[in-house]
Amino acid sequence: MATKKARIISVVNEKGGVGKTVTVINLAAGLSLRDKDVLVVDMDPQLNATKGLGFSPSKDGPSVYDVIKLEVPVPAQSVVVHTPWEHLDLLPSHTDLSGIEIELANVAGRENRLKEALAPLADVYDFVLLDTPPSLSLLTVNVLAFAREVLIPCQTHPYAYSAMDELLETIAIIKEDINPDISIMGVVATFFDRRTRVSNRILESLKTDKRLVGKLLNTVIRINTTIAESADHGKPVVFFRRSSTGTADYLALTDEILG
Ligand SMILES: Nc1ncnc2c1ncn2[C@@H]1O[C@H](COP(=O)(O)OP(=O)(O)OP(=O)(O)O)[C@@H](O)[C@H]1O
Ligand SMILES: [Mg+2]
């Protein structure tokens, strides 16, 4: 059975609303369309990736919380749910995740709980994509302790660009202290609007940023209202409207990452 070796990709940015969740669910959708077996892990207690894949989690439904909690954690395999789409599975989130920092405060090795719990799943999937909350909480640290690759969505907006300093520093610290195997796979510009001067200026800054040499992906995710609309329907835009620019951009990102 154990034949695969998943690429474990975390989508991270401490800045909120930059397109992390949309990138996770649409990259997952794109990869599943390319016949890759994909697991999405929703580590954000906001549940956006869970809802974006059509699940409305119940109070006592199984979730990723159950696999890292203090009291009798359950095996991750028993918590995975199949989405309506072939090749695409989900480890749903739960609002209880927001209390995990306090719950595990005195537990040794608390930053490696997710890694230990999900290790068996790396043999089952081609890709594990992890969505993170907009903060450097214990949840994000658990994701970064497990992941081998980091994909950073950067909104083409000045605030998002200036937040990159802290983010790159955070990843360097994690690499030094917790996970030497982690590296930045890429930075993807999001919310690009070619009509605005500011979007173009920030994209130019990303292209010439010496820290990001070889990291900025060629694919640029354009601003596209169909993306927000698809979230409302609990579907990745890739499955919601094939003819949208959102779909075109995320399929291009998929193919670039499959490279
Ligand atoms: N390219 C885009 N064009 C238009 N709207 C988008 C685009 N990408 C994301 N959105 C919308 O912007 C909002 C924020 O996106 P998303 O939830 O992916 O960001 P996030 O980084 O995950 O946010 P958070 O930090 O809160 O988790 C959502 O309503 C989403 O539907
Ligand atoms: Mg999100």
**Angle formed by the axes of helices 20-33 and 245-258, to 10°?**
70
Phi and psi at 151, nearest 5°, equal -110, 125
**Angle formed by the axes of helices 164-177 and 138-146, to 10°?**
60
Q: Is residue 12 part of a domain?
A: yes
Q: Is residue 2 part of a domain?
A: no
Q: Is residue 73 part of a domain?
A: yes
Q: Is residue 100 part of a domain?
A: yes
Parent domain of 74: 7-258
Rounded to the nearest angstrom, the distance between the alpha carbon of 17 and the centre of ligand 1 is 5
- Atom 1 of ligand 1 has which residue's CA nearest to it? 223
Whichever domain contains 119, its CATH number is 3.40.50.300
Number of domains forming the structure of the chain: 1
Rounded to the nearest angstrom, the distance between the alpha carbon of 15 and the centre of ligand 1 is 11
Q: Is residue 1 part of a domain?
A: no
Q: Is residue 44 part of a domain?
A: yes
Rounded to the nearest angstrom, the distance between the alpha carbon of 11 and the centre of ligand 2 is 9
Hunting for tokens 């975390």 — which residue is that?
Answer: 10
The per-residue pLDDT string of the chain (259 residues; one tens digit each, 9 = 90 and over) reads 557 899 999 999 999 999 999 999 999 999 999 999 999 999 999 999 999 999 987 777 889 999 999 988 899 999 999 999 999 999 999 999 999 999 999 999 999 999 999 999 999 999 999 999 999 999 999 999 999 999 999 999 999 999 999 999 999 999 999 999 999 999 999 999 999 999 999 999 999 999 999 999 999 999 999 999 999 999 999 999 999 999 999 999 999 999 9
Q: Is 24 in the pocket of ligand 1 (CB under 6 A)?
A: no
Q: Is residue 129 part of a domain?
A: yes
Which ligand is located closest to the Cα atom of residue 227?
1
HSE on the CB side for 133, CA within 13 Å?
A: 18
Phi and psi at 183, nearest 5°, equal -150, 160
